[in-house]
Structures are given as structure tokens and as C-alpha cells.
């Protein structure tokens, strides 16, 4: 509560003397001037016409009263914005929400706590200092204020919400007389219950500053998305920085954006090159120290892991003949490539499988790949001699192929065939490749043909110019299967040699999206915390923390057991953040009747020097004014001016002139400043002078 207070208020009673002083000053004339004056004899009989003395002028009176008032107020020790005082009796509970939302002004909070405890010490009240975000340990323990003060240093904001439910059982109204609640400003679950239980005794301390936080990054449509959650009362400008590892492995800012936060959830978008995006580890609000202002990211925005599977090359072939060479070259800059056998690759949980000319798989592998697709994997297959030879998907639709295939392939423009190699048809609107330029030189010489099933046309992503499908796809579970009806190398087509191939692959992998670890995948596993975020937003290695059951991680409720941070199981990571994309911050509501203390009092200002110097200044002015009133001021000034005038050297000449003029008979005229008149005077006097000289004895 801003205001004015006085260190020694009783001195203000002195102000009561002002009216008395007013009459006194009014009645007392200004001090008389003592003058020698011989003609006093003439004055002797005279009566002052004014019966009342020469009154002090009202403004002088006002000046003096102001000076005295300023001095009285000054000595009373005025202080602007004094601290609120907590004054009461009986046991006092100081409770802090101590969640991440209060971390931002934690220093001020603890300072306020210390202040309240100091006041309680003066009043000799027992104090209990608790933190709602810590689980209660036994009953409330009241101790001397000194003991509580020692505990202040041990207070720390937690990265999780207060546990009101647990405290509700411990806090009973009978135990204490007053509870000072340092609210973090957020409406956490269970607060209303706890509050209603002890409503009458609550004094709330809440920061004027709103709560601000940032949600974890997601990757959508080529952009990194995050959003600032704000409860600020006013718009603010925040700097969002995206941090990632640089090539040397140290964390640095990869992108920085200034955002004016106008909404409760303000979206922020970053467009990063894939190389940078892969390095991103966290996003944070610059300069905001709170666990809510930082969000770790797991694999979800990283580029996809792509497993390349090809039939074992029987012979050491040339590199350019390798069935996966062009795919590898196209994908390696932007994706993590896994080239191993299928079984091992499945363990790595890639986002995309690329099968180059793979025929029939063993049933067990087929099942596990299928399962993987259902979880959201994308399988991209390329045709080839082996696929045709394996004769899969010809009689009935194979689960790992989007369409039924016709037996045998199709040769176009070969030595044994009619016709030319076929070019690609322009992609139509439904195709993920829509908009890509089809180069003239790209042609397909051989392909596998799809059976013209009724559902074929829905599954075609690209066609040749004669309408035969070149790329087909079907969704399966959360994932899908894509088939290029030609080879991944240059054997059947020169498509892999063109830029179009690269773009088509990118389109496919972007469309597949990155997959975070699904809830089912977490289940049953023990996740080991690697990094944790503490309440003030520092990221620390999670040494000594126990592993977390995947079930808890799937629907994280943050607490001492599940701290925000990065959890790992083998090479998969899950980030648990304070704020999620769906979080909607709600401000804590307090009844109007609840007493409040300000956490941020305007800095107390001692006004004593101001008042005293004002008083003294006014008294100085009063000296001048008194001099002026009694007529002595200008005498002094005149004396100074005279002294200055006499000091003027030019006067010496003047004086000599005067002496000469006085000693002789001199004709003179007044210089008027009008040249003609002066000239006339001069000429006239000169003539007169000559005539006088001629005629008289002068």
C-alpha cells in the first residue's frame, strides 16, 4: 500500500502550533530599522496614522508558515511508500506457493518473508514457515521467529505446482491466528478448497507481475511452433530464444525472435533450416527465470530417423549401381540414416523405412514392420527385379504394399519393346507432390504395374503420362506405406538422377512427420531422468534421481517424484515440461475481503532531507524577503552597484573633465543624441565662445 508514514508521528502535533504562530507572526511587525535621523525632533509629536503596526505581508507570513510546516514535517521523518506491517497476535503461518510461477520474483518474496518474520519477532509471535509445493512433513511446527528466519535460506521455488490437497489436511484453522499466503498468481487445482477452509485468516501477498511461460516446441508444416502463455496484466515484449547444440557440442542460441505478447496464448513460429532444427534442444524466454519459461524438446522436432533397407548385395557392385545410393545421397543431409538389417533398424525406431527392391520378408519381420507402421511409421518401398520375382501382392493385397501388383513388369522403350520410355504426368492437386516441376528429361523405362482395383485411383500419388501409377500409397494405422513403382537407382529410370527425386523424398518424409514416443510405447518401461529443470529454470543433470515408470510419464503430473526434464530409455527421449501446448494459465482468484499485502512496494523513500532542505530554502528566501520588506535589500544592492560603478576606470577621465569644467568658465550643452541638434548647439556655442573671447576678458 503506497502512502506516507512518519517515523515520529507525534512531532506532527507541532503543526497545531501553526495557527498560533500565524497570529504571532501576524502581530509581530518586521524588526524595526534603527536610523540616525536629526529631524526626529520634527517627528516627535506625530501620531502614527495606523494604529496597527506595519503588518507582515501575507505572502511573507505564508512563506514562514510553509517553512515551519516543512521543518516540522521534515523532523517527523516522513517516508513515502513505507513497508506494510503485519501486526497481529498469536501463531503466524507464512506459506509460500513456491511453484515455478513464483520463481521470477523469488528474491522479493524471500525478502518479504524475512521482513514479515522480523516483524513477527518484534511482536514475539510463533512462526511456521511452509512451502505448499513441498509435501507436508508432519503437523505444523511453530517455532520462534529466529528459527523460521534460518529456514528462509532453505526455501526454493519448485518446478511443480503446490500440493494443496496434501496441505489441506494439515492446516486447520485452530492452529494459527494468521496465515500469510505468498501466492504465485496461478489458480492451481485445490486452491479454492484450501482457501475456503481457512479463509478468514488469510493475508495474501501476490506479485503484480503476471505469470509468463512458454510451451514446448512442435514441428508443423516446416515450422517450429511454440506459444507464450501469459497472464500479464499488460502487453509485454518477450524475446524467445531457441537454443541448440553447436558443432562443438555446446549450447547456443540458434534463433531469437521478439514477440509482443498480446494474448493469453501467443503463438511464435520459427523457420529453421533442417540442419539447425536437428540441433534444437530447448526454447526459452530470455531473461525470465522460471521453470515455466523454458521448454525442453525431445525427438519430436528432430529430423526423422530413416532406416534404409536393401537386399544384400551379392557381389561388390559399383557404388553408383547400389540400389540405395541416390536415396542415401538425397536424404543424408537432413535425416539420420540407419543402414543395418531390418531387425536392428526396428529397434532404433526409425520414422521412415525405405525398402529398396525388397521382396518377401519373413512373417515375423512383416508383423513387426506392420506394427511399427500402425504406430505411425512410414514405409517407402522401391520396386525392382526382386520385388517382381518375389511375386508378393499379386494375388491379394500385401499389407506392406499399397496396391496389388500385376505379375511381371513393364518394359518401355527397351530393346525388346515398342514405344518410348514414358515421361511423368504433372502431379494433380491431391498428390503430396503437387506443385513440383516435372523435368522434361525424366523418364521411366521399366516399372511394376498396379492391378486396376477399384480403390487404386485413391492411392495413386503420381502417374506416368499414360496414366499408369508411378507412386502409390495407402494409410495403415497411424502410418502409411508408399510404393515407387520403379527402382531407387538408375536401372529402370533416370528419376533418381533428377532433382525431382530429392524433392519427392522430402515431401514424403515431411508428410510423415516426426513421431514422438507414444503413450503406449512408454508403458511398462522405466525411464531414466537425464536432465531436470529446477524451479528457477536451470537445467541440471538428474543425478541420483530414480527412474520413472512409463505410465507416469504418459500423463505427467509434475511433482517431487516427476520433475520436469528429459527422460530417456535407450535412445529414445521424452521431454516433460512445466507447460504443455494445451496449458491455459488461470489467474488465482481471491475474495475481495481477503487482506492483501503488496509484494512490490514502491521503494520506501525517506522524505526528511527533502522537507528539511525545502524548509531551509524557504527560510533563506525569507531572509531576502524580510530585507526587501524592510527596505534594506535594495540599499545593499545599491551599495554593491555603487561600489561597482566607482570601480569603473572610465570614470577617472570623467572626473578630470568635471574638475576642469568647474575650474574654468566653460560653455556646455546637453548632448541630446540628435546629431543635427547637437551640431547646431556645438556650432552656436563655439561662435559664442569666440565672440566672448574677442570682446571680454574671459
Partner 1 sequence: MNASPQNAAELRAGAEAVSSGLPALLARAEHLAATLALGAHGRKRAGQGEDFWQYRMAEYGDDLRRIDWRRSAKSDKLFIRQKEWQAAQSVYFWVDPGASMAFGDVPKSDRAQLLALAIAILLSKSGERFGLLDLPEPPKTGETQLGKMARAMMGRSAVQDYAKLVPVALPKGSRAVFLSDFLGDWDGLRDALSRVADQGVRGVLMQVLDPAEVAFPFKGRTIFESMQKSLSFEARRADALRQAYLDKLAQRSEALQALARKTGWRFTQHVTDKPAQSAVLWLYNALELG
Binding residue for partner 1, selected from 31, 592, 668, 670, defined by CB under 8 A: 31
Looking at the Cβ atoms of 237 and 652, the one nearer to partner 1 is 652
Binding residue for partner 1, selected from 20, 33, 315, 644, defined by CB under 8 A: 33
Q: How far is the CB of 617 from partner 1 (least distance, A)?
A: 25
Binding residue for partner 1, selected from 20, 35, 319, 603, defined by CB under 8 A: 35
Contact between residue 470 and residue 447 where contact means Cβ atoms under 8 Å apart: yes
* Residue spans of alpha helices (H) in 49-105: 58-75
Stretch that binds partner 1, among 1-9, 52-60, 143-151, 681-689 (CB under 8 A): 52-60
Beta bridge partners of 251: 245
Stretch that binds partner 1, among 479-487, 593-601, 623-631, 638-646 (CB under 8 A): 623-631
Looking at the Cβ atoms of 50 and 543, the one nearer to partner 1 is 50
Q: How far is the CB of 697 from partner 1 (least distance, A)?
A: 8
d(CA 449, CA 388): 10
Stretch that binds partner 1, among 37-45, 311-319, 364-372, 466-474 (CB under 8 A): 37-45
Binding residue for partner 1, selected from 49, 396, 543, 555, defined by CB under 8 A: 49
Looking at the Cβ atoms of 40 and 363, the one nearer to partner 1 is 40
Q: How far is the CB of 665 from partner 1 (least distance, A)?
A: 9
Question: Per-residue b/e over 7-17, b at no fewer than 16 CB within 10 Å?
Answer: eeeeeeebeee
**Using the rule CB under 8 A, is 237 a contact of partner 1?**
no
Binding residue for partner 1, selected from 12, 22, 29, 83, defined by CB under 8 A: 29
Strands (E) across 424-547 are located at: 443-444, 446-450, 460-463, 469-476, 479-484, 526-533, 539-541
SS3 readout for 152-181: HCCCCCCCCCCCHHHHHCCCCHHHCCEEEE
**Using the rule CB under 8 A, is 43 a contact of partner 1?**
yes
Q: Helix (H, G, I), strand (E, B), or coil: what is residue 568?
A: strand
Q: Helix (H, G, I), strand (E, B), or coil: what is residue 277?
A: helix
Q: How far is the CB of 693 from partner 1 (least distance, A)?
A: 16
Say how many Å lie between the first and final Cα of the chain, rounded: 96
**Using the rule CB under 8 A, is 34 a contact of partner 1?**
yes
Stretch that binds partner 1, among 10-18, 27-35, 114-122, 386-394 (CB under 8 A): 27-35
d(CA 22, CA 15): 11
Q: How far is the CB of 34 from partner 1 (least distance, A)?
A: 5
Q: How far is the CB of 637 from partner 1 (least distance, A)?
A: 15
If phi over 0 gives left and psi between -120 and 50 gives alpha, with beta otherwise, what is residue 44?
alpha
d(CA 487, CA 464): 15
Contact between residue 109 and residue 180 where contact means Cβ atoms under 8 Å apart: no
Binding residue for partner 1, selected from 8, 10, 20, 39, defined by CB under 8 A: 39
Cβ contacts of residue 587 below 8 Å, gap of 6+?
A: 185, 186, 187, 210, 211, 231
Looking at the Cβ atoms of 49 and 441, the one nearer to partner 1 is 49
Contact between residue 98 and residue 167 where contact means Cβ atoms under 8 Å apart: no
Looking at the Cβ atoms of 53 and 511, the one nearer to partner 1 is 53
**Using the rule CB under 8 A, is 177 a contact of partner 1?**
no
**Using the rule CB under 8 A, is 695 a contact of partner 1?**
no
Stretch that binds partner 1, among 2-10, 39-47, 94-102, 319-327 (CB under 8 A): 39-47
H/E stretch holding 256: strand 251-261
Site string for partner 1, 280-319 (x = CB under 8 A): ----------------------------------------
Q: How far is the CB of 641 from partner 1 (least distance, A)?
A: 16
Site for partner 1, residues 630 to 689, rule: CB under 8 A: 630-631, 662-663
**Using the rule CB under 8 A, is 53 a contact of partner 1?**
yes
In angstroms, what CA-CA distances link 302 with 306, 513, 573, 608, 637? Answer: 12, 10, 11, 62, 86
What Rg value do the Cα atoms of the chain yield, rounded? Answer: 47
d(CA 464, CA 467): 5
Within 10 A of 377 (CB to CB), how many other CB atoms are there?
Answer: 26
**Using the rule CB under 8 A, is 30 a contact of partner 1?**
yes
Looking at the Cβ atoms of 583 and 630, the one nearer to partner 1 is 630
d(CA 190, CA 588): 11
Looking at the Cβ atoms of 8 and 664, the one nearer to partner 1 is 664
In angstroms, what CA-CA distances link 383 with 319, 409, 468? Answer: 19, 10, 15
Looking at the Cβ atoms of 45 and 454, the one nearer to partner 1 is 45
Stretch that binds partner 1, among 335-343, 364-372, 405-413, 627-635 (CB under 8 A): 627-635
d(CA 350, CA 219): 17
In angstroms, what CA-CA distances link 498 with 327, 447, 502, 630? Answer: 11, 17, 7, 106
Looking at the Cβ atoms of 48 and 396, the one nearer to partner 1 is 48
Number of residues that bind partner 1 (CB under 8 A): 29
Contact between residue 206 and residue 263 where contact means Cβ atoms under 8 Å apart: no
Q: How far is the CB of 685 from partner 1 (least distance, A)?
A: 19
Stretch that binds partner 1, among 43-51, 261-269, 344-352, 643-651 (CB under 8 A): 43-51
H/E stretch holding 348: none
Looking at the Cβ atoms of 55 and 586, the one nearer to partner 1 is 55
Beta bridge partners of 203: 180, 595
Binding residue for partner 1, selected from 46, 364, 650, 652, defined by CB under 8 A: 46
Give the residues lining the site for partner 1 (CB under 8 A): 29-46, 48-50, 52-54, 629-631, 662-663
Amino acid at each position: 500500500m503506497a502512502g506516507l508514514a512518519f517515523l515520529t508521528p507525534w512531532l506532527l502535533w507541532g503543526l497545531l502550533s501553526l495557527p498560533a504562530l500565524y497570529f504571532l507572526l501576524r502581530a509581530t511587525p518586521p524588526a524595526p530599522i534603527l536610523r540616525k535621523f536629526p529631524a526626529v525632533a520634527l517627528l516627535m509629536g506625530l501620531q502614527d496614522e495606523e494604529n496597527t503596526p506595519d503588518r507582515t505581508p501575507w505572502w511573507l507570513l505564508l512563506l514562514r508558515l510553509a517553512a515551519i510546516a516543512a521543518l516540522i514535517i521534515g523532523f517527523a521523518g516522513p517516508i513515502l511508500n513505507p513497508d506494510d506491517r503485519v501486526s497481529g497476535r498469536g501463531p503466524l503461518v507464512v506459506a509460500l506457493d513456491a511453484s515455478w510461477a513464483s520463481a521470477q520474483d523469488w528474491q522479493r518474496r524471500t525478502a518479504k518473508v524475512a521482513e514479515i518474520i522480523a516483524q513477527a519477532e518484534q511482536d514475539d509471535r510463533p512462526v511456521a514457515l511452509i512451502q505448499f509445493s513441498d509435501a507436508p512433513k508432519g503437523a505444523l511446527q511453530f517455532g520462534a521467529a529466529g528459527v523460521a528466519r534460518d529456514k528462509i535460506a532453505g526455501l526454493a521455488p519448485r518446478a511443480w505446482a503446490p500440493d494443496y490437497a496434501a496441505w489441506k489436511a494439515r492446516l486447520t484453522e485452530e492452529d494459527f491466528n494468521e496465515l500469510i499466503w505468498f501466492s504465485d498468481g496461478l489458480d492451481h487445482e485445490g486452491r479454492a478448497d484450501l482457501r475456503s477452509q481457512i479463509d478468514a485468516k488469510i493475508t495474501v501477498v501476490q506479485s503484480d507481475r503476471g505469470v509468463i511461460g512458454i510451451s514446448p516446441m512442435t514441428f508443423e508444416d516446416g515450422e517450429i511452433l511454440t506459444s507464450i502463455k501469459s497472464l500479464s496484466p499488460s502487453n509485454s515484449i518477450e524475446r524467445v530464444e531457441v537454443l541448440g547444440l553447436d558443432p562443438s557440442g555446446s549450447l547456443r542460441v540458434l534463433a531469437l525472435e521478439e514477440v509482443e505478447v498480446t494474448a493469453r496464448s501467443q503463438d511464435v513460429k520459427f523457420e529453421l533450416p533442417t540442419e539447425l532444427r536437428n540441433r534444437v534442444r530447448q526454447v526459452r524466454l530470455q531473461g525470465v527465470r522460471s521453470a515455466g519459461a523454458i521448454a525442453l524438446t525431445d525427438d519430436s522436432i528432430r529430423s526423422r530417423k530413416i532406416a534404409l533397407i536393401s537386399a544384400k548385395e551379392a557381389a561388390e557392385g559399383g557404388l553408383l549401381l547400389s540400389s540405395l545410393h541416390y536415396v542415401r545421397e538425397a536424404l543424408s543431409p537432413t535425416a539420420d540414416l540407419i543402414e543395418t538389417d531390418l531387425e536392428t533398424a526396428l529397434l532404433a525406431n526409425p520414422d521412415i523405412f525405405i525398402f529398396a527392391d525388397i521382396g518377401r520378408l519373413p512373417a515375423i519381420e512383416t508383423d513387426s514392420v506392420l506394427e511399427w507402421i500402425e504406430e505411425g511409421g512410414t514405409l517407402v518401398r522401391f520396386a525392382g527385379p526382386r520385388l517382381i520375382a518375389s511375386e508378393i501382392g499379386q494375388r491379394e493385397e500385401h499389407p506392406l504394399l499399397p496396391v496389388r501388383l500385376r505379375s511381371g513388369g513393364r518394359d518401355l522403350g527397351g530393346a525388346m519393346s515398342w514405344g518410348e520410355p514414358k515421361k511423368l504426368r504433372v502431379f494433380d492437386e491431391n498428390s503430396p507432390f503437387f506443385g513440383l516441376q516435372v523435368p522434361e528429361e525424366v523418364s521411366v523405362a521399366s516399372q511394376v504395374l498396379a492391378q486396376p482395383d477399384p480403390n487404386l485411383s485413391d492411392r495413386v500419388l503420381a502417374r506416368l503420362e499414360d496414366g499408369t501409377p508411378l507412386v502409390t500409397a495407402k494409410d495403415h494405422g497411424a502410418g502409411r506405406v508408399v510404393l515407387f513403382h520403379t527402382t531407387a537407382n538408375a536401372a529402370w529410370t533416370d528419376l533418381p538422377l533428377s532433382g525431382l527425386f530429392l524433392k519427392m523424398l522430402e515431401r514424403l518424409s515431411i508428410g510423415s512427420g516426426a513421431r514422438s514416443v507414444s503413450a503406449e510405447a512408454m508403458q511398462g518401461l522405466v525411464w531414466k531422468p537425464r536432465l531436470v529443470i529446477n524451479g528457477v529454470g536451470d537445467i541440471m543433470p538428474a543425478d541420483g534421481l530414480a527412474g520413472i515408470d512409463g505410465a507416469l510419464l504418459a500423463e505427467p503430473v509434475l511433482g517431487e517424484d516427476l520433475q520436469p526434464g528429459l527422460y530417456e530409455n535407450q535412445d529414445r527421449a521424452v521431454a516433460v515440461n512445466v507447460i504443455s501446448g494445451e496449458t491455459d494459465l488461470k489467474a488465482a482468484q481471491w475474495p475481495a475481503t481477503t487482506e492483501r499485502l503488496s509484494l512490490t512496494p514502491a521503494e520506501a523513500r525517506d522524505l526528511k532531507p527533502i522537507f528539511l532542505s525545502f524548509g531551509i530554502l524557504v527560510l533563506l528566501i525569507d531572509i531576502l524577503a524580510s530585507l526587501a520588506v524592510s527596505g534594506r535589500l535594495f540599499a545593499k544592492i545599491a551599495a554593491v552597484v555603487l561600489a561597482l560603478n566607482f570601480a569603473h576606470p572610465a570614470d577617472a577621465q570623467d572626473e578630470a573633465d568635471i574638475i576642469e569644467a568647474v575650474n574654468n568658465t566653460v560653455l556646455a550643452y546637453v548632448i541630446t543624441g540628435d546629431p543635427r541638434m547637437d551640431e547646431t548647439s556645438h556650432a552656436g556655442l563655439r561662435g559664442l565662445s569666440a565672440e566672448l573671447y574677442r570682446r571680454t576678458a574671459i
